[in-house]
């Protein structure tokens, strides 16, 4: 049965990238990086529209070729690397309201740097948001190294504990409380909450836990290389 609650996916993809030139459309297993996120969004049963927010005509053209909408170019003020991601999503939400009279109930931000995230992940996060009548859902993954074991190097080179974790530092990992880190793959929210709070975080923000094998965040050339290997191995390269 077709769902009645509307949801728009916003994929932020600015043109500038310091670590990897043209990162969002860099080739990965024969396809532009952004294509994997567009495909996941288009396949998600909970998503009604897929918008790409970019300041680059080149990226807009690629996005449209892959089946997404790119109905506007993001203003330069929202194209810098220090611009909060939520501001980019709010710009898209405002554009929809002002230019098309559209106010979706839910908005999900899907960063193109998470190419291993699946349509099933997107649906599960949105289902979690709706089932709990939550304000937002943010994806996380188990931390590789527990924060209670973290160390720091002092100015004189000595090693010291990063946290004063007391007895926790002496326990095996199996007895430590689970720790999670944001993986950057999914940020879903009720549109009204996002507009009012300009944040995904509130008393009713829920965690969608993803496994490490789908939590790769492409930030460096090495990450891009790994993503290519994984996606090619999974048979996602074109014929």
Gyration radius of the chain's alpha carbons: 19
For the chain, list the domains and their CATH numbers.
Answer: 7-140+180-233 (3.90.550.10), 144-178 (no CATH)
Query: In this predicted structure, what is the pLDDT of residue 1?
Result: 36
Strand partners, 50: 9
Phi and psi dihedrals of 187, rounded to 5?
A: -130, 105
CA distance 164 to 187: 32
pLDDT of amino acid 239: 38
As given in the structure block, the two tokens for residue 106 are 């839910």
Beta partners for residue 53, in sequence order: 12
pLDDT of residue 2: 43
Nearest to 192 by CA among 181, 180, 202: 202
> What pLDDT is recorded for position 236?
55
pLDDT, mean of each 10-residue run, the chain (239 residues): 74 86 94 98 98 96 97 89 90 95 96 97 98 97 89 94 80 85 97 97 97 95 96 68
What's the token pair of residue 159?
């090693």
Signed CA dihedral, 39, 40, 45, 48: sign only: negative
**What pLDDT score was predicted for residue 238?**
41
Q: What is the pLDDT of residue 210?
A: 98
Contacts of 158 by beta carbon, 8 Å cutoff, 6+ apart: none
């Amino acid at each position: 049965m077709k769902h009645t609650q509307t949801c728009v996916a916003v994929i932020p993809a600015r043109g500038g990238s310091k670590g990897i030139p043209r990162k969002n459309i860099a080739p990965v297993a024969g396809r532009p990086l952004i294509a994997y996120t567009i495909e996941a969004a288009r396949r998600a049963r909970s998503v009604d529209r897929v918008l790409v927010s970019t300041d680059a005509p080149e990226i807009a053209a690629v996005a449209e070729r892959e089946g997404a909408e790119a109905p506007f170019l993001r203003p330069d003020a929202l194209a810098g690397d220090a611009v909060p991601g939520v501001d980019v999503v709010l710009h898209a939400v405002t554009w929809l309201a002002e230019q098309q009279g559209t106010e979706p109930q839910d908005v999900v931000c899907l960063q193109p740097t998470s190419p291993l995230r699946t349509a099933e992940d997107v649906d599960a996060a949105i289902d979690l948001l709706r089932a709990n009548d939550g304000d937002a859902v943010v994806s996380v993954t188990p931390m590789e190294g527990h924060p209670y074991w973290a160390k720091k190097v002092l100015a004189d080179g000595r090693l010291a504990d990063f946290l004063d974790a007391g007895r926790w530092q002496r326990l095996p990992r199996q007895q430590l409380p689970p720790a999670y880190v944001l993986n950057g793959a999914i940020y879903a929210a009720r549109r009204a909450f996002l507009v009012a709070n300009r944040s995904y975080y509130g008393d009713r923000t829920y965690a969608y836990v993803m496994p490490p094998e789908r939590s790769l965040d492409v930030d460096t050339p090495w990450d891009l290389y790994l993503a290519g290997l994984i996606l090619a191995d999974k048979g996602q390269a074109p014929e």
